[in-house]
Amino acid sequence: MLEFRTQGFNGYSVKYSPFFDSRIAVAASANFGLVGNGRVYILGLTPNGIVAEKYFDTQDSLFDTTWSETNEHQLLTAGGDGSVKLFDINLSEFPVQSWTEHAREVFSVHWNLVSKDTFLSSSWDGTIKIWNPNTANSLTTLPTHSCTYSAQFSPHSPTILSSVSSDSHLRIFDLRTPASASNHLTLNIPIHTPPKPRMGAAAPVGIPPSEALTHDWNKYRDTIIATAGVDRLIRTFDIRAPAQGPIAVLAGHEYAVRRITWSPHLSDILLSASYDMTCRVWTDGSAMGAGGPAKQENMLEAQNMILGGGREMGRMGRHTEFVTGVDWCLFGAEGWCASTGWDERVLVWDCRAIMQ
Amino acid sequence: MADSLCGPSNALQNFQKHTSVDRTLQQDRLTSRQSPIQGFRSAPGPNAGILDPEFDAFQAGRSGPPPLQHGLPFHSPPAVAPQFAQVPQTPDWASDFQRLNISHPQPLPIQQHRSQPASSAPAAWHKNFLRQQAPAAQAPIQQQSMFGGIPRQTTMGWTGPSFQHTSTYGVMGGVPLSETAQGKQRVEEDVSLYDDAAFERAFEQAHRDAMLEVDEQWKYEALPRQGDEDPVLRSLPEPLYLMMKIAETARQNGLTSTGDLLDRLEMLEQTTQIGHECLPVVVQGLKYWLDHGVTGQDPASKAFVENLEGLLQSLNERIMSEYPLQTQTGVLNGPQSWQEFVNSLPLQDRSLYTRDSLPAPDTHQPVEEQQKTEQQFPRNDNDELAVTAGKLLERVADNQSEKFQKSQFLELMRRLRDREVVVQGDKMVEVSSTPCSTSPTPASVFTPTGNASASLSPNAYASRSRSPAVPAPATVIPDVDRSILDHAATDFELPVDSEQEFGVGGKDV
C-alpha cells in the first residue's frame, strides 16, 4: 500500500491515466468542498513512493477529474463554480481552456471513450452538456431536471451516454435519436424499483426513492450498468430489459455509496467507495460459480433486497474519513487501484490482498 | 427506442430523423430571448423598403411604373406551368403578384410550345375543364380558352372549390376569356386594366373587413373599462391594468389623492387571487413605484407607503410559497428586473413605461438592494450551515466507531453547529477563543460558494437506526496488514509482456 498526503485538501476524485500506468490525477478541495480553493494533483508512482509531479490550483472546489483520451498530457476538472477546465501538464499554471456554461456545481466530467473527440459534464443545474475541446461552446445540452451527480459515455458506443441524478433515476441518452420532445432521452429507469417477485422468496417491499450518486458501465457486458447512492445499495441494471428492475442488488455499505467502478479486467468485479469510510470489492454474481454459497443466504433472509447472488469479496478500511474516489489501474497485474477521501490521503493498493 | 439502440436500420429512417429535428431551442438562443416583435421591428431585413414605393402606388390606385398585369397567369402560361401544377397549394395571389411584377408578357411561341404537351393530356381534365367552364364559356372560344386556361385548369384540379368562391377570380374566369378569342395583345391590356379595378375593389373590401374586425375587438375590450382613453391601458391584463392605474393616478395628481390611491390599493388587494404568472409582474411594478413614485413626507403618504409595503410583502410571500424549494427565483430583485419587465411587454406598450414622466429606471437603487441581500447572505448561510451540520451529526450520532469519533470532518460539523466556526465572507473564521484544530488550511484563501449547504445535505447520508446498547464499531476494520507489500509488486515499471499485450507503448511517447 502506497500513500500520498494531499495536505490541506480533501480528495474528491482519483483517476488513473489511460496512457501511463504510473500516473494518477486527484481532484481535491479545501475545507471538504464547503468553501475555498480546489487543487488537482498529478501524481507519479515511483520506486520511492508517490510523488506529486505537478498540481494546479483553482479558485473553487474541484469535484471530479478525467484524463483526455487523445492527449496524454491533458485532463479535465469539474469545478464548484460551474466551470469545466482543461489543464495541460506541460504548461505551468493556467488551464488551456475553461468552459463556464453550467449554472451550478459541476459534479462529473467524462471523456468519450470511443470516438474520443467529445466529453461531457454533468451539474447540479440539472443538465448534462456535451463538449468538443476545440470549441468554445457546448455542442448539446441534455436536461435531467435534477441534480446530476454522475454522467458517463458508454465505453461501447460513441453516441450513448447515461446519467444518475438525485431523482433516483438512471437515464440513457442516445445522440442518434432526433432531438425532438425527448431531448435524446431513450430510457428512464427508476432505480428504486424493487426487483420482480421471484419463486421461493417473499415479494420485495417497495422502498422510497433516494439520491443516486454514482454509476458505471460494465467494461465487458455492454448493456450492464451499476448504480449506487444514498440508499447504500449497489444495483446492476440491464438496459435491454429496463422494466425488469435490478438484476443484482448488493447490500453491505453502512452509509451512502459515493463512487463505484467496474474492473477493467474482470466482468463481474466492481469496487465501491462509501461514506462509511471503507472501500469494498464486490462480485455481482454473474461470473460462473462466483455466487454459489451467497445464494443460499439470500433464501434465508428474503426480506432483504439482496439479489443476483452477488457478494462482498473484501474491504479496505484504511481511510479515516469519507472515501470519495476510487479507480482501477488499467495496466499491469489486475487488482491495483487507487482511492482518495476526505482524510487528505491517496492510497494505492492491490485488491487481491483484501479479497477472500 | 429499441430500434434507435440497435443502430440505424434504413436510409429513410435517417432522412426522417434529419428532417424532424426540432430546432426551436437553437432558434430561441439566436434571438437571445428578445420578444419576436422587437427583433422584427428593430432589425429590418436587407430588402426592407425596396417594395414600399410600389406598394404605395398600388394603394393609391395609380398604375405605377411597374405595370400590374394580374391577368397574365391566366392567359399566358408561364414557363414553369407543369411544375406549378404539381405544387399542391392554393393559388396564392400574392406570389402571383410578385412573379408578375418582375416578368413581362411571355413570348407567344413559348405558349404554343407549352400547349402541345398539355393538349395531349388525358381526357379527364379536359372534361373537367369543360364542365367548369360551361356556364360562362361558349363553344367557339373553347379552343382558345383551353389554350389560355391550361395552367389555371391544372390549378383548378387541385383547388377547385376555393377557386370558384373567390369573387375576384370568378369575374375574371368568364369575361376575359371570351375576349381572348379576338386578339392576344389587346386582351392582355384590357385584362390588366380590368383586373386593376377588380383588385382594388377586393383590396378595399378586405381593408374594410379588417377595420370592422378591429372595431369590434375594441368595442369588446372597452366594455368593462369605459372610463379610460388610453387603448394601451385597456388592452392590459387585469392586475397590470390596476397597478398601472394606481401609478397613473399617483403620477398625475402627485400625492394629493392618497385616499383614492388607497381605494385602488384595496381593489388590488382583492385581486391577489389573480394568476400566478402575473404576480411577479405586479410585484415588480409596485416595487419600482414604491422606490421612485412615492416621495411625500406627510403622515398620509407614510401610511400609504406602509400599506404598499405590506401588500408587497404578502405578494412576495405568496410567490415564494409557490416556488419549489431551492429555486433561485430572481424575480423579486436584481437591477435588470424592471428592464426585463418592460422588455417583456409588447413594443407599443413600452412607451407607457419609459415615458419621461416616469423616471427612467435607474440602476443604482436595485444594486443597493442586491448589496443588502448579499450582506445578509453570510448570516443566513451560517444559520443554514449550522442547522445542516446539526442534522448531519444527528444522523451519525449512533455510530460509535472509533473512526467516526475521531473524524475531523465531523468535528468541524460540531464546531459549525455550535457556532465555534462560521463562514465569513471568503474565510472560515473561528469565533471562540480556543485554538481551532480543525481548520485544515488556515492560510488558504477561501472563496464563497453556494455549495455549502447542499454538500452537507443530510440526504447524502443514509439514516440508520442502531440501538445504542450496541456500542460495537459499525465497521469491522481489518487490522493493518504490515506485510501487504509482500504480495504486491512494488516496481512500477511497465512489465514487458503487458506492454505488448495492451499495445500502449506507442502512446507513451
So what's the pLDDT on residue B454? 37
3-state class of B427 per DSSP? strand
Give residue A78's region: left, alpha or beta (phi > 0; psi -120 to 50). Answer: beta
State the average pLDDT over residues B72-97.
47
pLDDT the model gives residue B245: 64
Q: Do A35 and B426 touch (CB under 8 A)?
A: yes
Report the DSSP beta bridge partners of residue A66.
A76
Enumerate the residues of chain B whose CB falls inside 8 A of the CB of residue A35: 423, 426-428, 446-449, 452
Interface ipTM: 0.81
Name the band, by pLDDT with cuts 50, 70 and 90, for residue B294. low
* B444 → closest Cβ in A8, A46, A277: A8
φ, ψ of residue A313 to 5 degrees: the values are -105, -10
Residue B359 touches partner A, C-beta closer than 8 Å: no
Site from B441, B482, B497, B508 to mutate, A interface, most A CB atoms within 10 angstroms: B441
Higher-pLDDT residue of B327 and B252 is B252
CB of B277 within 8 Å of a chain A CB? The answer is: no
The cell numbers describing B426, all together, are 471568503
Question: How many Å apart are CA B263 and CA B471, to the nearest integer?
Answer: 69
Residue of chain B whose alpha carbon sits nearest to that of A160: B5
By the 10 Å C-beta count (0-12 exposed, 13-18 middle, 19+ buried), A265 is classed as middle
Q: What percent of chain A has pLDDT over 90?
A: 67
pLDDT for the residue numbered B369? 46
* Whether pLDDT at B205 is above 70: yes
Which of B404, B475, B507, B509 is the mutation pick for testing A, counting most A CBs within 10 A?
Answer: B475
**HEC string of B305-344?**
HHHHHHHHHHHHHHHHHHCCCCCCCCCCCCCCHHHHHHHC
User: Where along chain B do its domains lie?
Assistant: 233-324+334-349, 380-423
Rounded Cα distance between A333 and A287, Å, is 20
Task: Select the more confidently predicted residue: B487 or B327.
Answer: B487
The per-residue pLDDT for range B222-254, each reduced to its tens digit, is: 334 444 445 555 555 565 666 666 666 665 555
Q: Are the beta carbons of A347 and A354 closer than 8 angstroms?
A: no
Q: Chains A and B: how many Cβ contacts under 8 Å? A: 184
Mutate to test the interface with B, among A61, A255, A354 (most CBs of B within 10 A): A255
Contacts of residue A283, Cβ cutoff 8 Å, sequence gap at least 6: A268, A269, A290, A291, A310, A311, A313
Q: What is the pLDDT of residue B20?
A: 67
Higher pLDDT, A201 or A313: A313
What average pLDDT score do residues B88-93 get?
Answer: 50
Chain A positions touching B450 (Cβ under 8 A) are 104-105
- 3-class secondary-structure state, position A164: strand
Give the C-alpha separation, B158 to B136, whole Å. Answer: 21
Give the nearest chain B residue to A276 (CA atoms). B475
Nearest to B5 among A8, A178, A186 (CB): A186
Give B441's pLDDT tier (boundaries 50, 70, 90). very low
What is the distance between the alpha carbons of residues A10 and A12, in angstroms, rounded to a whole number?
7
**Structural contact between residues B401 and B476, judged by C-beta atoms closer than 8 angstroms:** no
Side-chain-side CA neighbours of A246 within 13 Å: the count stands at 29
Q: How far apart are CA B424 and CA A126, in angstroms?
A: 29
Q: Which residue of A has its CA nearest to B498?
A: A332
Structural domains present in chain A: 2-353 (2.130.10.10)
State yes or no: pLDDT of A342 exceeds 50.
Answer: yes
Q: Is the pLDDT of residue B134 over 70?
A: no
Query: Which B positions 9-28 lie with beta carbon below 8 A of chain A?
Result: 17, 20-22, 25
CA B194/CA A83 separation, integer angstroms? 70
Q: Which three cell numbers, joined as nine digits, stand for B222?
A: 372597452
Range with lowest mean pLDDT among A121-135, A180-194, B243-257, B282-296: B243-257
Distance from CA of A163 to the nearest CA of B (A): 16
Reply yes or no on whether the pLDDT at A29 is more than 50: yes
**Yes or no, beta carbons of A181 and B22 under 8 Å apart:** yes
Instruction: Give buried/exposed letters for B228-267 (b at 16+ CB in 10 A, else e).
Output: eeeeebbbbeebbbbbbbbbbbbeeeebeebeebbebbee
